[in-house]
Amino acid sequence: MNRISSIVFLLLCAFLVSCGQQPSKNDYVITIKTSYGDMVAVLHDETPKHKENFLKLAKEKFFDSLIFHRVISGFMIQGGDPSSKKALAGQTVGMGGPGYTIDAEFNPAFFHKKGALAAARIGDQMNPTKASSGSQFYIVQGQVWKEADLRIDQQKLGMALQQFLAVPANKALYDSVVLLYQTDMKLYEEKILSLAPRIQKEMNVSVIKDFPADRLEAYTTIGGAPHLDDEYTVFGQVIQGLDVIDKIVALPRTMENRPLEDVRMFVTVEEMPRKKITKLYGYEYPEIKK
């Protein structure tokens, strides 16, 4: 390559990097092996600190033999505490880490749909910046949601409902709602949601909130845990082996949600072309809006 060609090449690389487009077309595939099957995941470039840290720990075999120490049906499975490697049966674990935290990297493109790989952290009171644990992570199972459950502001609806039912003309409706509350909670919730349009009109209040279309589609189809969005950093996605999450989360567990059976993880990293990842796993890399 002559001098002019070299300069042109370097300028092109600089341009691509400045535009957020990396010259490399490769990525890393993460495989989390368990006795209940393998989960294959990719990590997001848009959360670089979390991606770099997880890859580093995985390559160092930090995660190997650690257990999923906290599992909650309809929610998630959690692991990454180094003290869990030699924890005795019934021993409380979940407070360990590598001795450092990672700055939060929230990105609206990544949310808590099923299979989302996210960083655990301590609560807001002791952690106002929402910094992530250096090693503990969770994988979302969640549940499938109805659109109304996501788009209706439950707090506003509850306040408006009290005013609505206090109107004397609505006394009969009040009695029927109270009866449902006392006898069938599911029918009660359905009744309240059905009243939302009428409550909006008569109380002159809006109980509908904006909800991103991509999140709405995901949560009403494959499911997830929307209440965690924008509170915990999502830095990856399981692209194969979602059924493994279901198997692990269904295990009998203690009052502290530790499975009675130790489910150990072994994490490997493999670099391969992104096109191959798409071909093998059907994963389409998202277009991130700047």
123 with 80, same domain: the answer is yes
Q: Which residue has the higher pLDDT, 210 or 39?
A: 39
User: Looking at the predicted structure, is the pLDDT value of residue 263 above 50?
Assistant: yes
220 with 187, same domain: the answer is no
Task: State which H helix or E strand residue 268 sits in.
Answer: strand 266-273
DSSP state of 283: P
Per-residue model confidence as pLDDT tens digits over 137-194:
999 999 999 988 898 888 888 899 899 999 999 999 999 998 988 888 888 888 888 8
49 with 118, same domain: the answer is yes
- Range in 81-85, 130-134, 197-201, 254-258 with the lowest mean pLDDT: 197-201
Q: Look at residue 288 and tell me if it is in a domain.
A: no
> What was the pLDDT predicted at 289?
61
Backbone angles phi, psi at 236, to 5 degrees: -165, 180
Number of domains in the chain: 2
- Range in 20-24, 27-31, 140-144, 149-153 with the lowest mean pLDDT: 20-24
CB atoms within 10 A of CB 287: 6
Q: Look at residue 4 and tell me if it is in a domain.
A: no
- Range in 96-100, 172-176, 271-275, 286-290 with the lowest mean pLDDT: 286-290
pLDDT, averaged across the chain = 90
> What was the pLDDT predicted at 290?
53
16 confidence band (pLDDT: 50, 70, 90): very low
Q: Look at residue 1 and tell me if it is in a domain.
A: no
Backbone angles phi, psi at 117, to 5 degrees: -105, 120
Angle at 244 (CA atoms; ends 137, 123), nearest 5 degrees: 25
> What was the pLDDT predicted at 84?
97
Q: Which residue has the higher pLDDT, 247 or 290?
A: 247
DSSP notation for 61-81:
T-STT-BEEEEETTTEEEE--
88 with 112, same domain: the answer is yes
Q: Look at residue 14 and tell me if it is in a domain.
A: no
37 with 104, same domain: the answer is yes
> What was the pLDDT predicted at 4?
44
Say how far apart CA 51 and CA 126 lie, in whole Å: 24
Do 130 and 124 touch, CB atoms closer than 8 A? yes
Q: Look at residue 13 and tell me if it is in a domain.
A: no
127 with 218, same domain: the answer is yes
Say how far apart CA 172 and CA 78 lie, in whole Å: 48
Do strands 137-140 and 76-79 pair parallel, antiparallel, or not at all (unpaired)? antiparallel
Q: Which residue has the higher pLDDT, 141 or 206?
A: 141
CATH number of the domain encompassing residue 98: 2.40.100.10
117 with 190, same domain: the answer is no
Region 70-91: what's the mean pLDDT? 95
Select from 19, 38, 18, 17 the least CA-distant residue to 29.
Answer: 38
Task: Write out the residue range of the structural domain in which residue 111 sits.
Answer: 23-145+213-281
67 with 176, same domain: the answer is no
Residue-level length of the chain: 290
Q: Which residue has the higher pLDDT, 196 or 279?
A: 279
Coil, helix or strand at residue 151: helix
> What was the pLDDT predicted at 190?
85
Region 243-254: what's the mean pLDDT? 97
61 confidence band (pLDDT: 50, 70, 90): very high
Show the tokens assigned to 195. 């009243």
5 confidence band (pLDDT: 50, 70, 90): very low
Q: Look at residue 72 and tell me if it is in a domain.
A: yes
Region 205-217: what's the mean pLDDT? 91
Say how far apart CA 162 and CA 172 lie, in whole Å: 14
177 with 71, same domain: the answer is no
Do 265 and 148 touch, CB atoms closer than 8 A? no
